[in-house]
Chain A
Amino acid sequence: MRYGMVISLSRCIGCNSCSIACKHENGTGPGVFWRRVVITESGKYPQAAMHALPLLCNHCEDPSCAKVCPVKATQLDDNGMVTIDAKKCIGCRYCMTACPYNVRAYVKSNDKGYFDEGLTEYEKAVYGEHKVGTVEKCTFCAQRVEEGRDPACVATCPAKALFFGDLDDPASQVVKLLKDNPNAKTLKPEAGTKPKVFYI
């Protein structure tokens, strides 16, 4: 089993629904983003264009973050997911400097919410799960995948630009998409991390 994701850039409309769904599902606080959409511009008026690039942990096959983690808090599991054990993480942030994609986040507080009036009931319920002084990132929504559901970002995307599945299963939609799109790209292949998030 090797979970992976395919992102269709031609479908993505840069709406950030996935980023919000991720925050909602995983209860991350202000300043912590496990997923974001980078908007860039190219060309000059009247030939200007905007591009949206959704970024999340690539759950790399050769993850540099796991290689440098001094206490084995970050590891590649049997499902091909790169996980972080908050009980082991010492918050050294070596992994953040080693990840070529800048997709890890440092939890600096778990008692500051989004609103001036203090924490909402929802925030009170979810922020406690995030340990201050440790590093976090996308989990491929392991809690949902275990139940046979798609990750929250995939389920939410209004443009159906996101696909999730087992890269070892020839019948999975992700494998079919990669077969149909031989030009599928990964980010920064020269970093040698072998990402499992593909862009078509």
Chain B
Amino acid sequence: MTNSASNEAKRSTAGNLILPVAGLLAVIGIVCWVLQLILGPTVLADSIPWGVYIAAFFLLAGAGSGLVFTAAAGEWGLLPALKDKRRSLLIGAAASYIAAGFMILLDLGQPVQIYNFFVSPNFTSMFVWDFLFLLVTVVLVLVCFFRKEKSKWLLGLTAVTALGIVLIEGWILAVNSAGAWNSALIPVVFLVEAIVVAAAVLLVAKGDAFEPLKKILIGLLPLLLIFSLIEMFAGNYMGASEEAAGTKLLLTGSLAPFYWGWVVLGVALPFALLLWKGKSAAMVKVAGVLAVCGVLVAKINLLVAGQALPFEGEQIGYFPSIVEIGGLLGGLGLAVFLFVLGKKFFGDTPAAAGSAQTEAAPAKAEAEA
């Protein structure tokens, strides 16, 4: 067997394993959810009401939006390398949004009462707007995907509502009075993180193939670190005691292993790997995985730092429970599972094949890839 044939065989074995492994993780997540429904919520202290589930929700919703941005950028000629990846990107976006919805279901204490979102919505709540934007964006993604005629305007509109999701989720924290959250920079950080996650996921999927995405990651990873330093400096310079306490928590307190872990493994290492001249496709994939994990940890850090200093209470540490970790893996597994399944069933559907030439050809090329 030649080298390239053996590499091909290895790749296809790994590819065949993805669906069952991701499916297994999704099942673990669903089991954790059922366990929660039977045994009661497993979140820890009252002072840290939002933990890993909300962080994963933000990550997956951001990933969905990031993938919509890249699809639109390909369509509008900003990232020509992605023009023929439109269908895959939209499947990835829909899978991420659905998995984000699963994370919210996991997080809710009374998911059966969720119908109140429809019968008694409170429009002063950012959650309601987030829910509406998510709903509209998922519908638009599906319309863009199944519509016979490709429309770059429709995809552009979808990118705008996807942007709305990211900004609203940033505002959920930014308009809160908790010290570490109360910053206008958070929606911008969420936007950059969404693009980082989408670029990283694509690099994981395609290795060395997308040169512009590597450049995007190389440019944006340090920016996330700079944002974090700006936040710390601004809060401490103004002498805001809550910000100072939050900074201490991150730099030397109970969150320090997570903060420094993010700096080294989530920013510096993927940055160095991507810059390395003699890098292999595997190293690019490792950099992508590290960047995605880094964004998840950064979101947990941000969430916990804003809650770990409760009013007139003891400083609280945070580590997710076993059930929460199972739920997190389930959400991530579900996203991958739905994506691979979506590619299998809709990568080159008869509808697509019979559609306008412009759509059928890239779909076929993608299916072959």
A binding-site residues for B, Cβ under 8 Å: 31, 38, 40, 53, 55, 64, 67-73, 87-94, 96-98, 100-102, 104-109, 131-135, 187-188, 191
Contacts and interface: CB of A to CB of B under 8 A. Distances in A.
28 contacts: A31-B46, A68-B125, A69-B122, A70-B122, A73-B116, A88-B113, A89-B110, A90-B117, A91-B108, A91-B111, A93-B109, A94-B125, A94-B127, A94-B172, A97-B49, A97-B306, A101-B311, A105-B46, A106-B43, A106-B46, A106-B49, A108-B41, A132-B40, A133-B108, A133-B110, A134-B109, A188-B177, A188-B311
B177 A70 contact: no
B177 A191 contact: yes
B110 A102 contact: no
A174 B46 CA distance: 31
Contacts of B116: 71-73, 88, 90
A64 B113 contact: no
Interface in B6-52: 39-43, 46-47, 49-50
Contacts of A72: 116, 120-122
A53 to B, nearest CB: 6
Nearest to B311: A102
Secondary structure of the B contact surface, majority rule: loop
A69, A93, A105 pick with most chain B CB within 10 angstroms: A93
B126 interface: yes
B151 interface: no
B5 interface: no
B124 A40 contact: no
Contact of B313 (A102, A134, A188, A191): A102
Contacts of B122: 69-72
B107 interface: yes
B322 interface: no
5 closest Cβ pairs, A-B complex? A91-B109, A133-B109, A93-B49, A71-B116, A70-B127
A109 B311 CA distance: 24
Interface in B113-161: 113-114, 116-117, 120-122, 124-128, 131
Nearest to A100: B177
Nearest to A133: B109
B46 A90 contact: no
B327 to A, nearest CB: 15
Contacts of A88: 113, 116, 120
A70 B110 contact: no
Q: Which of A55, A97, A106 has the most CB of B within 10 A?
A: A97
Contacts of A107: 109
B165 interface: no
A134 B307 contact: no
Contacts of B43: 93, 106, 108
Contact of B109 (A67, A98, A132): A132
Nearest to A132: B40
Nearest to A96: B49
Contacts of B49: 93, 96-97, 106
Given A97-B176, A132-B40, A90 B110 contact: yes
Contacts of A98: 176-177
A98 B312 CA distance: 15
B125 A91 contact: no
Contact of B310 (A71, A93, A102): A102
B95 to A, nearest CB: 23
A71 B120 contact: yes
Contact of B125 (A38, A40, A70, A100): A70
B213 interface: no
Contacts of A102: 46-47, 310-313
Contacts of B47: 102
B178 interface: yes
B312 A53 contact: yes
B312 A38 contact: yes
Nearest to A191: B177
A56 to B, nearest CB: 12
Given A87-B113, A97-B178, A92 B312 contact: no
Nearest to B107: A92
A101 B313 CA distance: 10
Contacts of B128: 70
Nearest to A103: B311
Contacts of B120: 71-72, 88
Interface string B55-97: 0000000000000000000000000000000000000000000
B50 A40 contact: no
A100 B110 contact: no
Contacts of A89: 109-110, 113
A15 to B, nearest CB: 18
A92 B130 CA distance: 13
A90 B111 contact: yes
B304 to A, nearest CB: 11
Nearest to B109: A91
Contacts of A104: 46
Please indicate which of the listed interface residues A67, A88, A101, A102 has the most CB atoms of chain B within 10 Å of its own CB.
Answer: A102
B233 to A, nearest CB: 22
Contacts of B178: 97
B177 A64 contact: yes
